[in-house]
Amino acid sequence: MLYSKYEDFLSFLQYKKILITTHDLVDIDGFASCFALKFFLCERFNKSPSIFFSELSKATKNFMNKFLIKFPEFKFDYETEVNLANYDVCLIIDTNDLSQIHFNSSKSSKLDIPYILIDHHHYGKTELENRNISSLNLINDDISSSAEIILDLIESQNQDLPTRYRYLMAAAILVDSGFFRYGNNGTIRKFSRLLDEKVNYQHLLNMLQNETDISEKIAKIKGLQRVELIRKGDYLIGVSNVSSFGANVASMLIKNGFDVGIVYSVEKNRKNINSRAKKSVCLNTGLHLGKILEELSKYADGSGGGHDGAASIAFNAELKQVLSKFIEKIKHFL
Ligand SMILES: [Mn+2]
């Protein structure tokens, strides 16, 4: 991004009372970017901006807890209630959709102070919103994380980042780039600049490891114990049943070698089927689970649909009949 853009951005902020925020169910990119920007502005202006978060996602909470084991002295200070009237400007990171920001847990709470967007998502707005100081927006939808924009800003000002912030930014880049799957050369270069003898890649991976809930683990184990194998040529279909986490169990079947995973659940009067198929199988055979379940909806007295490789149906008709019809239709493509 242009150096002069950062100069304008910073000189505008110099004497302002600043609030930094991000979208609801704060993800690791939004979370890390807010704290790194707060650190930078604090160093720069010698005055600390506030951060507001409505609610952290489960993965973010998990990451924060693991981070605090490594850096117990670090303070993740943020507000969960905020009076916008106390601020001159709001910096919105990692979203450009105001409906994703939930001030004071009320969706209707209006953002009635000037704001600036710092984001990497597609920005399709053509008409200007009057509270947005759009000339100062830092938007780049060519990159995989908001953290990269914040880093670019910080690097442009030759500000050093302490180890703990390097961990935060590295984690954000890893997660939002899908561990570099959606990244480009710049993503990897920026990431590698964060690594030094104190930032350990394996520690970082460990911080990002998500613990699975015990009930989900049990569902997956039961799902594997109960799976029935159906073979059609070289294709393998797995059929299993669990009472909850059906979608996760169906995904697990695919990861374990099945080409198609089907998991049914019966709870009181509610019956449903979750299904997953390997992308390559869908592409090679024309299989589209979502279309099949949509077609089955009438027969099954329910409603179903989804994508080619991931679909589900909730229905009232006899389970056995719906299930065998579904398998029969899948076999047609294999
Ligand atoms: Mn992001």
E-state strands within the chain: 18-22, 50-52, 89-93, 115-119, 138-139, 228-232, 235-241, 260-267, 270-277, 302-306, 310-315
pLDDT-based confidence at residue 224 (cuts at 50, 70, 90): very high
Instruction: Provide the CATH number for the domain formed by 3-207 in this structure.
Output: 3.90.1640.10
Summarize pLDDT for 96-118 with one digit per residue, the tens.
888 888 887 554 467 889 999 99
Q: What is the average pLDDT score of the chain?
A: 92
Number of H helices, E strands in the chain: 12, 11
Binned at pLDDT 50, 70 and 90, residue 211 comes out as confident
Q: Cβ(184)–Cβ(143) under 8 Å?
A: yes
Which residue in the block uniquely carries the two structure tokens 């460990």?
206
CATH 3.90.1640.10 in the chain, residues? Answer: 3-207
Percentages helix, strand, coil for the chain, rounded to the nearest 5? Answer: 45, 20, 35
Segments of the chain assigned to CATH 3.10.310.40: 214-333
Q: Which residue has the higher pLDDT, 148 or 142?
A: 148
- Model pTM score: 0.73
Mean pLDDT within 40-64? 95
Distance 27 CA to ligand 1 centre (A): 7
Q: Which residue has the higher pLDDT, 314 or 126?
A: 314
Task: Looking at the structure, give the CATH architecture of the domain made up of residues 214-333.
Answer: Roll (3.10)
In angstroms, the CA 32 to CA 23 distance is 13
Amino acid 253: pLDDT: 97
**pLDDT score at 255:** 93
55 CA → ligand 1 middle, Å = 16
CA atoms within 13 A on the CB side of 59: 16
User: How many angstroms does the Cα of residue 121 sit away from the middle of ligand 1?
Assistant: 7
Average pLDDT for 316-322: 95
Query: In this structure, what DSSP letter does residue 79 have?
Result: B
148 CA distance to ligand 1 middle (Å): 9
With 80 as the cut, is the pLDDT of residue 128 above it? no
Sheet of strand 260-267, all strands in order from the earlier edge strand to the far edge: 228-232, 235-241, 260-267, 270-277, 310-315, 302-306
CA 146 to ligand 1 center in whole angstroms:
5
User: Over 80: is that where the pLDDT of 31 sits?
Assistant: yes
Q: Which amino acid is at 156?
A: S
Both structure tokens of 317: 């008709």
